[in-house]
Structure 1
Amino acid sequence: MFSTARRRCLQTASSCVPSSSTPATFQTSRIALSSAAPKAFSTSTPCRSKIGRQPLFLPPEVQFEITQPPKSKRVKISVRDEAGVTIHVKGPLGELSYTVPSFVQVTRETPTSPPCVTVLDANERCQREMWGTVRKYLHNMVLGVSEGHTAILRLVGVGYRASIEDSATTVPTEYPGQKFVNLKVNYSHPVEVAVPLGVKASTPQPTRILLEGPDKVAVMSCAAEIRSWKKPEPYKGKGIFVNDETIKLKSKKIK
């Protein structure tokens, strides 16, 4: 049985080896295979994001103003050295402003038309990356002054609770009327977090903290600071969770 299989393998190998009469053809095929371009991992064309091309839709109660930068008297070296336009967004929940990079342009055809975001050179990687980022920033500003941004923090653990205080002993007061979040998360010392200006904090339940404000960056930064005091751990699932954050539990360590 083994001799028959071995004979069949030898016959197949001998048929694959080129004959000595055609060495040039064999060498040519090897060169062609070695010089061929490597096969791409994906055959589909890359699909780039189109967020920056979408116009900004403004609610009727939101005011959107574009302020041109002051002209500089010094010699212009490059476009990057110039100051960009400043966007002012005002709504029923507050007022925000943001200065865009110099290579980003925010224009409106008419005073009632939606604003559009463009860049000077879409082929440059840096400008292409900031195109969609600036548009998302402006969208968050419009959404913040009209509807507001929220962050819900859940305290999971035995004895974990939080409260809002008017004063603090370990954190200085930065502005009049500032509130402080007092956390009790199994520390021997008091844990107090200052609420930044423009953010409203409340505790609907002892294990829930609600942060509200027009500026999404300020709201989520405050949520991240509170979460840093007790990050979720993967063995018992205890900690401070932000919004719909979940964690995959691990099995207990066996020594």
Structure 2
Amino acid sequence: MSCLPQRCARQLLREPFQRGSLPLFLTPAFSPSRAQFSTTSPAQSRIGGSAISVPPEVSLTLIDLPKSLTQGRGKDVPKFAAQIKGPKGEMTLNLPSFLTVNHDATTQKATLSVMDPEVPQQRAMWGTARALLQNHITGVSEGHICILSMVGVGYRATIENTATTVSATYPGQKFVSLKVGFSHPIELGIPEGVQASTPQPTRILLESVDKRKVTQFAAEIREWRRPEPYKGKGIFVNGETIKLKAKKIK
């Protein structure tokens, strides 16, 4: 009795390949020396090991976290944190336990290293932690900005001290009021640590030392009028462009 197709396929994969035992049209599929799609060798990112430039006006120090914060059931519990101070403000970044930061004050360079680069989790967090540390250093020294451009007839924005549809979450909070084609204005509370201004009625400038906060708030504003591809109307972030589509003709 002949074997089933699935059983035969598994048997062919387990047994050594014999070119004469297969039909001619199945030979390329089971051949061990198949041609690759690309002839170039795979290149891996080396962003984690690259040095970070620390400006002279920025101070980078490592501090020990309290024991209450280092006790948990997670896979990795941070034991140290990087404290970055600059002319724009101060930020703190919790570092994984397997990560080490070496700061050379003479060369004004900071490098990150992990215990075992062959571990996938450590290698993945190596580049992520390096990018977060770079963002924090840039934030306290220069700051992060997002520029939103409003394209549309009657689209405009203003910064208000009070709002009627939302309530303040912290003392002195201001609000962004949008007029983007709805029958009522859209009011959004500005997150703490983010400064907003309107140099033009159709421009919104967001500034903060925290890149995550400023980009997240810009995304929330953009969500009310995402750019559409037929008339090119909407809220664009940081020079965003879209490709216009042809009009539908019935």
Calculate the TM-score normalised by the size of structure 2. 0.82
In structure 2, do the counterparts of structure 1 residues 172 and 32 end up closer, same or farther at CA, with 3 Å as the change threshold? closer
* Paired position in structure 1 for 2:191: 196
Instruction: Specify every segment of 5 or more residues in structure 2 that has no aligned partner in the other structure, as ranges.
Output: 1-18
Q: Does 1:37 align with 2:33?
A: yes
Structure 1 stretch displaced more, 119-128 or 202-211? 119-128
| 1:17-166 pair list within 5 angstroms | 27=20, 34-70=30-66, 80-108=75-103, 114-166=109-161
Answer yes or no: is the 8 Å Cα contact 2:58–2:140 preserved in 1: yes
Structure showing greater Rg: 1
Which amino acid is 1:63 matched to? Answer: S
Specify the SS of the correspondent of 1:108.
Answer: strand
* Paired position in structure 2 for 1:20: none
Structure 1 stretch displaced more, 127-136 or 29-38? 29-38
| 1:232-243 pair list within 5 angstroms | 232-243=227-238
Q: In the TM superposition, what is the alpha-carbon distance from 1:27 to its structure 2 partner?
A: 3.8
Answer yes or no: is the 8 Å Cα contact 2:156–2:202 preserved in 1: yes
Q: In the TM superposition, what is the alpha-carbon distance from 1:35 to its structure 2 partner?
A: 3.9
Which amino acid is 2:167 matched to? Answer: P
Question: Partners in 2 of 1:162 and 1:217 — Cα distance?
Answer: 22
Which amino acid is 2:146 matched to? Answer: A
In the TM superposition, what whole-angstrom CA distance separates every residue of 1:159-202 from its partner, at most 9, and x where no partner exists?
00000000111111111221110000011122011111111100
Which amino acid is 2:186 matched to? Answer: V
Which amino acid is 2:62 matched to? Answer: I
In structure 2, do the counterparts of structure 1 residues 174 and 112 end up closer, same or farther at CA, with 3 Å as the change threshold? farther
Question: Partners in 1 of 2:72 and 2:146 — Cα distance?
Answer: 44
Aligned residues: 228
Instruction: Specify every segment of 5 or more residues in structure 1 that has no aligned partner in the other structure, as ranges.
Output: 1-25
Q: In the TM superposition, what is the alpha-carbon distance from 1:117 to its structure 2 partner?
A: 0.8
Q: In the TM superposition, what is the alpha-carbon distance from 1:112 to its structure 2 partner?
A: 6.8
Q: In the TM superposition, what is the alpha-carbon distance from 1:110 to its structure 2 partner?
A: 6.2
Answer yes or no: is the 8 Å Cα contact 1:85–1:105 preserved in 2: no
Answer yes or no: is the 8 Å Cα contact 1:84–1:103 preserved in 2: no
In the TM superposition, what whole-angstrom CA distance separates every residue of 1:205-224 from its partner, at most 9, and x where no partner exists?
00000011111111111100
Question: Partners in 1 of 2:121 and 2:48 — Cα distance?
Answer: 13
Q: Percent identity?
A: 52
Answer yes or no: is the 8 Å Cα contact 2:55–2:141 preserved in 1: yes
In the TM superposition, what whole-angstrom CA distance separates every residue of 1:110-130 from its partner, at most 9, and x where no partner exists?
687522111122112222121
